[in-house]
Structure 1
């Protein structure tokens, strides 16, 4: 068993808090995406469907990546190996850019 001097913090709590933060981020994208779909639907139903078809599955992918990152992080923290890659931050950045571009297109077209 490891002593407190070797491990001054609980190995799992930091990883769990990070996972919950990523889950909240994905949830906020879902809610924000649904609000944007509602606004876009007033002017173009087709654009609203395309927006929903692209952004909502990306939010599901972010949630899946967060839980996968949690499992891999737990395994690696206990094995003292390097932490997971940056696929999750990349997916969130791509979704944020996509939402921003569609928002700009909506403003310019309306």
Structure 2
């Protein structure tokens, strides 16, 4: 007979998979932005500095939100409370918009 955990979730799997997915998404955006900043730096140093000043702190904040969401999600699952809010998806969306604006700036200035 298969042992089922007490509750609707398997401890140790759902939260880790979600955290790893958010981590891959965040790292992909950060690496993409760094490559774009490198290319933009050859065209306009000022535009590259402005994009870097916005992108790098936002990337670090997203990583911090990711870790905080992971710990909060584990605690809430154990307490059978509602899962965390949407600060992390909002930060990743802002990072995506910034990546798009940086790409647009590269196309315009190039």
Work out whether the TM-score is over 0.5. Answer: yes
User: What is the deviation of 1:109?
Assistant: 2.5
What is the alpha-carbon distance in structure 1 between the residues aligned to residue 8 and residue 69 of structure 2?
23
Matched, 1:66 2:66: yes
Count of aligned positions? 108
Is this contact kept in 2: 1:51–1:102, CA < 8 A? yes
Partner of 1:19: 19
SS of the residue 1:53 aligns to = helix
Partner of 2:10: 10
Stretches of structure 2 that go unaligned for 5 or more consecutive residues are none
Runs of 4+ in 1 over 3 A off after TM superposition: 5-9
User: What is the deviation of 1:105?
Assistant: 2.4
**TM-score by structure 2 length?**
0.89
Is this contact kept in 2: 1:26–1:60, CA < 8 A? no
Stretches of structure 1 that go unaligned for 5 or more consecutive residues are none
Listed one character per residue, the Cα deviations across residues 47-92 of structure 1 (whole Å, up to 9, x for unaligned) are 1111111111111111111110000000000000000000000110
Matched, 1:51 2:51: yes
Partner of 1:38: 38
